[in-house]
């Protein structure tokens, strides 16, 4: 049987650090023009075509930002504590509990999907299946935006903000991830790699892709 215990570890870890995480990322997007540019591009290409999901939405800040850009968006996350904070902060938005490994969404129902630093918790052997799940729920021509730390070696945390956790952050190679997207049925639209800043140790990667449209 495939080991899916990483889901339990990830859920428990983010439940434990949810309140601290909110403070850590507060105001970060305002200081991140390149990130806003990628989100803005995604909003422009995907925002008018139907519903959009942020998968791994955490406390909802990216979901809320895209909603401000006019996107019909809702969030999905594994952690009940993170979702509780998202609902408190953004009561007008929809946030559902769920896993990117098995999305409770119909085939082809989304115009867009965002995975903003959430695919990083998926071990390499499960990544093709998750990208296939993203492909399944997107309509033909639907858009996908990924954000991740660039690299090859994972970083393992047994403690965060004073809480015991078991969290693994997988760094993703840009070219390798683009290849996985192509194999999953996506065509690449754009890529951006930003150099590390402040306390970051790795470059940050952003990939925009589109589900290949069906036959005319």
Which residue, 155, 146, 151, 152, is CA-closest to 192? Answer: 146
The DSSP output letter for 185 is: T
Per-residue pLDDT reduced to its tens digit, 54-90: 999 999 999 999 999 999 999 999 999 999 999 999 9
Q: What is the pLDDT of residue 107?
A: 97
Q: What is the pLDDT of residue 215?
A: 57
Other residues' Cβ atoms within 10 Å of the Cβ of residue 80: 13
In this prediction, what percent of the chain has a pLDDT beyond 70? 98
Q: What is the pLDDT of residue 216?
A: 42
The per-residue DSSP string of 122-134 comes to S-GGGHHHHHHHH
pTM beyond cutoff 0.75: yes
CA pair distance 29, 7, nearest whole angstrom: 27
Which residue, 110, 97, 100, is CA-closest to 137? Answer: 110
CA pair distance 78, 75, nearest whole angstrom: 10
Other residues' Cβ atoms within 10 Å of the Cβ of residue 85: 19
Q: What is the pLDDT of residue 128?
A: 97
Region of 194 (left: φ > 0; alpha: ψ -120 to 50; beta: rest) is: beta
Which range (51-55, 77-81, 189-193, 198-202) has the least confidence?
Answer: 198-202
Which residue, 5, 13, 108, 106, is CA-closest to 56? Answer: 13
C-beta separation of 177 from 150 below 8 A: no
CA pair distance 169, 38, nearest whole angstrom: 22
pLDDT (average), residues 100-120: 97
pLDDT band at 2 (very low <50, low <70, confident <90, very high): low
pLDDT (average), residues 110-127: 97
In this prediction, what percent of the chain has a pLDDT beyond 90? 88
C-beta separation of 131 from 20 below 8 A: no
Pick the residue with more confidence: 28 or 203? 203
With the C-alpha atoms ordered 94, 99, 102, 108, is the resulting torsion angle positive or negative? positive
Residues 6+ apart with CB under 8 A from 119: 56, 100, 127, 130, 146, 148, 172
């Amino acid at each position: 049987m495939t080991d899916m215990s990483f889901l339990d570890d990830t859920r428990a870890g983010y439940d434990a650090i949810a309140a601290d995480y909110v403070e850590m990322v507060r105001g970060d997007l305002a200081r991140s023009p390149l990130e806003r540019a990628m989100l803005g591009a995604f909003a422009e290409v995907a925002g008018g075509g139907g519903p959009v999901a942020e998968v791994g939405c955490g406390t909802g800040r990216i979901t809320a930002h895209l909603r401000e850009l006019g996107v019909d968006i809702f969030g999905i996350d594994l952690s009940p504590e993170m979702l509780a904070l998202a609902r408190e902060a953004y009561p007008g938005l929809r946030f559902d509990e769920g896993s990117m490994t098995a999305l409770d969404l119909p085939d082809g129902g989304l115009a867009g999907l965002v995975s903003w630093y959430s695919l990083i918790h998926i071990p390499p052997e499960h990544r093709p299946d998750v990208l296939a799940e993203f492909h399944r729920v997107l309509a033909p021509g639907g858009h996908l935006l990924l954000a991740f730390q660039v690299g090859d070696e994972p970083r393992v945390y047994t403690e965060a903000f004073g809480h015991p956790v078991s969290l693994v952050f997988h760094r993703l190679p840009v070219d390798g991830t683009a290849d996985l997207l192509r194999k999953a049925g996506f065509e690449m639209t754009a890529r951006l790699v930003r150099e590390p800043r402040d306390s970051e140790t790795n470059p940050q990667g952003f990939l925009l892709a589109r589900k290949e449209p069906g036959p005319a």
